[in-house]
Structures are given as C-alpha cells and as structure tokens.
Amino acid sequence: MGQNFPNGLGTFYIGMYKLVEDPSSDPIISWSKSNNGFVMCKEEERIRSKILWRFHCEKLSEFLSELKYYGFRRVKKKKGSGEMEFRNEDFVRGQPERLRDMMLKACRKHRAKFKAKETAKEAAKEAVKQLQRLQI
C-alpha cells in the first residue's frame, strides 16, 4: 500500500506508520479500534524480534520512552489484557499526512521544555549572584 508521507517527516514516524500498517505485523502490533493509535502485545520476545531492532532499541523500556518522546500516550488497559495501547490524535489510519502535525507538536513540546530549563538555570545563577552580593 503506497502512502503519501509529508516531506521532512522524521524516520521514526514513517517507520511506526509502516509497521502498524503492515498486515504481517498484526499479531504483534496493529491499528487500535479507534484508528488513531495502535495496540501492541506485551510479549517482549515477540516485540524484540519484530519491532525493537527497527528502532535501534535493545529493551522494551527504551522503545516505550521513544514512543512518549515522539508524542504517543499510553492508554490504560485492563490488567491481564496482554496488550498495550498507544494513541495520538494525529496518528490516524489512512491519513499519513497528519504525521507532520504530530511531529511538529512533539518538537514544540521539547523546545518549550528546553526553554523552561534554560530559564530556570538562568534564574538560579542570578539568585546565586544576589546571595553572593549580600554576603559581602
């Protein structure tokens, strides 16, 4: 199935979309019923053989961190369901063009976090300077 991916889209987004779209992956990872996310089995050995190596992850925990970093959120499932579900409003079956919005939102979020950290560092430096002046 040929998808039309937006120019400049990160390889993670393309890789995830193609993987979820691939019918041969369905026993391990497939579209969720809502079609704006995917479900994945919890069997780490099966995940490792089909998924982890594609995204250069050695452990499932690394891959789960990557999903969060790229904008997916985990959906709570019933205990013992044997699967995990991840969603994003812009990860939609049949609409790969929306992946660009997903990527841009994730970038904005990370940029805002970085700016907040930098602002906090500057404020801490200024506070130290003021305390040093008061001690003199």
In this predicted structure, the answer to whether residue 121 has a pLDDT above a threshold of 60 is yes
Share of the chain above pLDDT 90, in %: 51
CB 13 within 8 A of CB 6: no
| Per-residue tokens: 30 | 């497939």
Residue 126 lies in a domain: no
pLDDT number for residue 113: 67
Residue 85 lies in a domain: yes
In this predicted structure, the answer to whether residue 130 has a pLDDT above a threshold of 60 is yes
Residue 1 lies in a domain: no
Residue 59 lies in a domain: yes
Total domains, the chain: 1
Report the CATH number that the domain containing residue 53 is assigned in CATH: 1.10.10.10
Domain that holds residue 87: 11-111
Predicted TM-score (pTM) of the model is 0.76
DSSP secondary structure of the chain: ----PPTT--HHHHHHHHHHH-GGGTTTEEE-TTSSEEEEE--HHHHHHHTGGGGT-SSHHHHHHHHHHTT-EEEP--TT-SEEEEE-TT--TT-GGGHHHHHHHHHHHHHHHHHHHHHHHHHHHHHHHHHHHHH-
Q: Which tens digits make up the pLDDT trace of 57-107?
A: 999 999 999 999 999 999 987 777 889 999 999 999 999 999 999 998 987
CB 106 within 8 A of CB 69: yes
Tell me the pLDDT band of 115, cut-offs 50, 70 and 90: low
Residue 49 lies in a domain: yes
pLDDT number for residue 119: 76
Residue 29 lies in a domain: yes
